[in-house]
Amino acid sequence: MECSVLRDERLDVLYGEADPATRERVEEHLAACSTCREEMAALRGLRGQLAAWEVPEGLRKTVRPRSAPSRFLAAAAVLLLAVGAAFGLSGSEVRYEKGQLAIRLGSGDRDLRRLLAEQDARHHEEIQALQATLSAAPRAEPAVLPQVEEMIQKSELRQGELLRASLEDWTAKKEAQRRYDMARISAGLSYLDGKNGQQVARTTELMGYVLEAAQKR
Amino acid sequence: MGRTDEALVEACLAGEWSAFDELLVRWERKIRGAIYRLVGSEEEARDLCQEAFLKAYRGLGTFKKEARFSSWLYQIALNLCRDRVRRRKGRTLVSLDELEEGGESLPEARPSALDLLQRREVCRTVAAAVAALPEEQREVIVLKEYQELTFLEISQVLDVPLSTVKTRLYRGLGQLRQRLEHQGLRGTTPLPAPTP
């Protein structure tokens, strides 16, 4: 009976979870009960065997999550990129020659200036050639100029006429609109006058009736 | 002393999602090991472990503050294992190749070839015996023997009374003992009695 009652306690002892009192009770029982003592020994042996089953090597590694790069690293990367780009654009270069590291800086700047100076000289020459071509061109005939002036004057007159006609047309339209608006306002006022007149006549009539009635009394 | 699991969960929920990385580092190996012993496949253990953490990450909002994070995580992992084993109609796989890999890494300097062979054999036999246990007993054996959870923790993970945990363990150990003895293995290397 005690064997089954103490089963859970024996498990507590087997796995080291028993409090001192429970442990003492179980030890006392094991000392007296050969069946439980043998079982306990067998279970300890079994636990030794179970420990032989290990997880494969590949599953034992802890995978460190890849953390996001810090702002400092991002800034450093951008700075490095900028320096690299500037280094490359300036025409600087790093060479490993004869066992030594050689850094050449700024050759690109000189090249760029030389190219700009060459282009400037070329443009200057082209401008001079163009000026020479223009000065060598035949001048216009004297009779042509009055004709051109006359054509320009005629054109100006035409433009003036068109402008004047447009202005007159616009003025006429505006005047017509103004008259129309005035007529509408006048009509509106007459209607109101008429209404007021009728009202006055009606009031007068009523007053007459009142006076007449008073006199009869 | 770093933050507790529960403090890390709170940090996650407060927006410090990098705290989950720490939880991952703390628990991934153990959870993967438990899953491996429950489903018996290295590949599946990796997949399911990843899935378990993903589920945990997505479900952090539903985590109850009074519970232990590890118990909650084990619950998620165990449910995934049950689903997987059920899909295979209750069969727990034990890959012999993987078991051999595991056998090679037993902690002892320069074991002889005979020792290695014997250990591989023991490893294989034990794995097969655990895999043959009913699911409920297998879970308790794995959580107690290999994950070293306390009885109370196991009862929380499985959501069963303490006495049920001990009954399942006792029966599981009994079956294992019988199977291993049947295979010719006897407990010749007993573990020392634990000290209180």
- The residue type found at A195 is K
Q: How far is B180 from chain A (nearest CA, A)?
A: 8
Report the range out of A63-67, B39-43, B118-122 with the highest average pLDDT.
Answer: B39-43
Mean pLDDT of chain A: 79
Average pLDDT over residues A56-73: 63
pLDDT at B93: 61
Tell whether the model's pLDDT for residue A61 goes beyond 90: no
Q: Do A42 and B24 touch (CB under 8 A)?
A: no
Question: What confidence tier does B29 reach under pLDDT thresholds 50, 70, 90?
Answer: very high
Q: Do B194 and A13 touch (CB under 8 A)?
A: yes
Q: Specify the amino acid at residue B4.
A: T
Is the pTM above the cut of 0.90?
no
Report, as an integer, the average pLDDT of A86-97.
63
pLDDT tens per residue across span A96-121: 666 666 666 655 556 677 788 888 88
pLDDT band at A43 (very low <50, low <70, confident <90, very high): very high
Whether residue B92 is predicted with pLDDT greater than 80 in this model: the reply is: no
For residue B148, what pLDDT is reported? 92
Q: How far is CA A117 from the centre of its chain?
A: 43
Which of A7-21, A61-75, B114-128 has the highest average model confidence (pLDDT)?
Answer: A7-21
In angstroms, rounded to a whole number, what is the distance separating the alpha carbons of residues A93 and B161? 75
B1 or A2, which is more confident?
A2
Partners of residue A19 in chain B, C-beta under 8 Å: 196
Q: How many residues does chain B have?
A: 196
How confident is the model at residue B104, as a pLDDT? 43
Model confidence at A205, pLDDT cuts 50, 70, 90, reads confident
Chain A CA closest to residue B105: A57
Residues of B in contact with A65 (CB under 8 A): 21, 24-25
CA distances from A187 to A173, A176, A195, A198 (A): 21, 17, 12, 17
Q: Which of A206-215, B21-30, B43-52 has the lowest mean pLDDT?
A: A206-215
Report the range of poorest mean pLDDT among A42-51, A133-142, B57-66.
A133-142
ipTM score of complex? 0.81
Please name the amino acid found at residue A76: A
What is residue B174's predicted lDDT score, i.e. its pLDDT? Answer: 95
**pLDDT of A137 above 70:** no
Q: Does B119 contact chain A (CB < 8 Å)? A: yes
CB contact under 8 A, A53 and B126: yes
Q: What does the pLDDT look like over B138-169, one tens digit per residue?
A: 999 999 999 999 999 999 999 999 999 999 99
**Helix ranges, A51-143 (H):** 57-60, 71-89, 107-135
Picking from B26, B126, B185 by the largest number of A CB atoms within 10 A of its own CB, the best residue to mutate is B126
Contact B151, B183 (CB under 8 A): no
Least confident of A145-154, B13-22, B97-106: B97-106
Which candidate in A6, A11, A26, A49 is best for mutational testing of the B interface (most B CBs within 10 A)?
Answer: A49
Neighbours of B30 (CB within 10 A): 20
Mean pLDDT of A163-181: 83
pLDDT of residue A164: 87
* Stretch among A11-20, A91-100, A117-126, B84-93 having the lowest mean pLDDT: A91-100
pLDDT band, very low/low/confident/very high, at A93 (cuts 50, 70, 90): low
Determine the 3-state secondary structure of A104 from DSSP. strand
- pLDDT for the residue B133: 94
CB-CB neighbors (< 8 A) of A52 in chain B: 106, 119, 122-123, 126
Alpha-carbon gap, residue B93 to B91, rounded angstroms: 6
Q: What is the pLDDT of residue B103?
A: 44
Q: Tell me how many degrees the CA angle A110-A115-A121 measures, rounded to the nearest 5.
A: 125
CB B131 within 8 A of CB B94: yes
pLDDT at B105 over 70: no
Judge whether B76 is closer than 8 Å to chain A, CB to CB: no
Query: Which residues of chain B form beta strands (DSSP E)?
Result: none
B93 interfaces chain A, CB cutoff of 8 Å: no
The shortest C-alpha distance from B89 to chain A (Å) reads: 24
For A97, phi then psi, to 5°, come to -125, 135
Q: B154: closest CA among B142, B9, A51, A12?
A: B142
* Exposed/middle/buried for residue B52 (C-beta within 10 Å: 0-12, 13-18, 19+): buried
